Structure 1
């Protein structure tokens, strides 16, 4: 917004110092958000990429960036951060030469919203992801400092309410310019939203060339836009579990563009925890295949299987023994009990739980395929 002509007394308004600090903090926020955006891009571009803040399971920017919580309204959270810091920084810059402390009230409002978002993301990190991102925490700290600085500026102008009323009054006096600024801002955000590449939506390919991904914390394999989605509640160290796994994989091979298979743990087995950890290395389905093949020949060793599928066996072992992996499996077990799953294997379609034979028959019916002959049910 164009500043009014100023006198020396106007330039030295009480809020000028805090606004200068606010502008510098916005530059720091832009640097942090830029690093987060770069990490988000790289972890989705390369499975082997490890950022400098990938320190442990509990402190890991990469695992946070790979989670679905790193996306908000179709864009990475860090990109929204870039937009927010740029907007607040530009507003603060206009206030350095404006009268009456503009726009301290608006900056208090915007930085308050940023702090609210920081609190929400911190709760997600603590309660859902069980992992912390150092750069995210740096961004939250910047947001808190921005809010505190804006609050100081507002108090020098008579308090938050008074500062906000002054800003709204100034915007109303120049409503045409304010409206134009809002239109330009909306157009810029709209262009960014439509043109930003959705690289995180490009599901990678797994065993058999099938697409694989993760949704609501559960790994899936098969069609990107499935006609039928079936959840396999499964475990290890049971003959029927391996058979169910192979049956659905054969069915998937016959209907790769129509069927999606989702995996959920239905037993508290160390191999289930190892498989979940392989998913953190984007090798879930590869390890599942290797484990079931090994079980046919005897006892499966997750470290040996990890080496065969290109996963890091040491990282897998550390992860499998962690509380994070145990909680992930327990979450599946709790969900399974709520759905009526009593033991593996079981299939779920649209919330209804089936035994494997009945479930496979129902999947085949929905796919328009004749039921398999009894002799074809055991797959190798």
Structure 2
């Protein structure tokens, strides 16, 4: 089963690194939404590559005969539990945040579930005599801590910029200038754009294009503007796609960025 996981994650890592379309993808754009999201990478590496590493370690532990049967099982159990928890977390993010699923990711999740079920059934007779529930608790706490740290990192909670008078002044200037920032509630890049302004993001001329979710029709204002990707800035009638630095927006709207720095 670890070898099967290696094949799945290896293929996903290759497609992510090469930019190729995955054979697992369907035509609904779910794969693209996930691959372009901030959750698709960790520390600059594709998340699939981290999964490949986990399966490789499980395979090595499974092939090792130096450790006792009990010790080998314990190591397998901890590794698979960690992988399963992270996979479930990412699947939940895909559904709740991106409203999208990756078939290859679901295939990897199925492999992890099968591995975990197998380990549960094949628990050695020499396993610790303490209550099974206590064993579960002792192993689950560090796994939940890892998932919590992953969430804090991936959701950008550590990257929120502090209050800045310059950012607030620019955000208000963009509104007064008539610029428009078109985004969607499920768009990770839109969240990144807002984080550039910290707490001043509420003052941005933001237009929510998809309040109902990723697969719902765009609101009329966005459809009339011809918005096809998120985020999209419209300044002086010209579209600018993707996340833009505040300095870029300042130049495009003739905002004195250096003078505003004195306010901070």
TM more than 0.5: yes
Q: Runs ≥4 in structure 1, deviation > 3 angstroms?
A: 97-102, 155-163, 227-235, 259-263, 266-269, 273-277, 362-366
- The structure number with the bigger radius of gyration is 1
Q: 2:222 matched to which residue of 1?
A: 272
Matched, 1:244 2:179: yes
The alignment's C-alpha RMSD in Å is 4.5
Structure 1 window deviating more from structure 2 (113-122 vs 151-160): it is: 151-160
**Equivalent of 1:56 in 23, 27, 43:** 27
Residue 99 of structure 1: how far off its partner (Å): 4.1
Deviations 1:225-276 (A, max 9, x none): xx858448999xxxx88x436xxxxxxxxxxxxx999773168842425779
Matches of 2:173 and 2:92, distance apart in 1 = 29
What is the TM-score of this pair, normalised by structure 2? Answer: 0.56
Is the contact made by 2:179 and 2:205 (CA closer than 8 Å) also made in structure 1? no
Q: What is the Cα deviation at residue 70 of structure 1?
A: 1.0
Aligned to 1:368: 259
- What's the offset of the Cα at 1:76? 1.9
Q: Who is 1:33 aligned against?
A: 9
Cα distance change on mapping 1:53 and 1:147 into 2, 3 Å: same
Deviations 1:105-145 (A, max 9, x none): 11111111111111111110110010000000011111111
Query: What is the CA–CA distance in structure 2 between the aligned matches of 1:157 and 1:56, rounded to whole Å?
Result: 50
Consecutive unaligned residues in structure 1, runs of 5 or more: 1-24, 44-48, 164-214, 217-226, 246-258, 294-304, 310-348, 350-358, 370-380
Q: How does 1:211-230 map to 2 (within 5 A)?
A: 230=170
Which of 67, 75, 78 aligns to 1:109? It is 78
Alignment of 1:88-237 (within 5 A): 88-95=58-65, 99-158=68-127, 230-231=170-171
- Cα offset, 1:160, TM superposition: 8.7
Q: What TM-score does the superposition give when structure 1 sets the normalisation length?
A: 0.41
Aligned partners of 1:28 and 1:233: how far apart in 2? 54
Distance 2:255 2:174 in 1: 19
Q: Secondary structure at the match of 1:130?
A: coil
Aligned residues: 191
Q: Secondary structure at the match of 2:101?
A: coil
How far apart are the structure 1 equivalents of 2:125 and 2:68?
Answer: 13
| Distance across 1 between alignment mates of 2:62 and 2:37 | 33
Gaps of 5+ in 2: 133-154, 157-165, 181-195, 210-217, 241-245
Distance in 2 between residues matched to 1:52 and 1:159, nearest whole Å? 44
The aligned counterpart of 2:18 is 42
Distance 1:78 1:50, change over 3 A: closer
Which gives a bigger RCO, structure 1 or 2 (Cα 8 Å, sep 6+)?
2
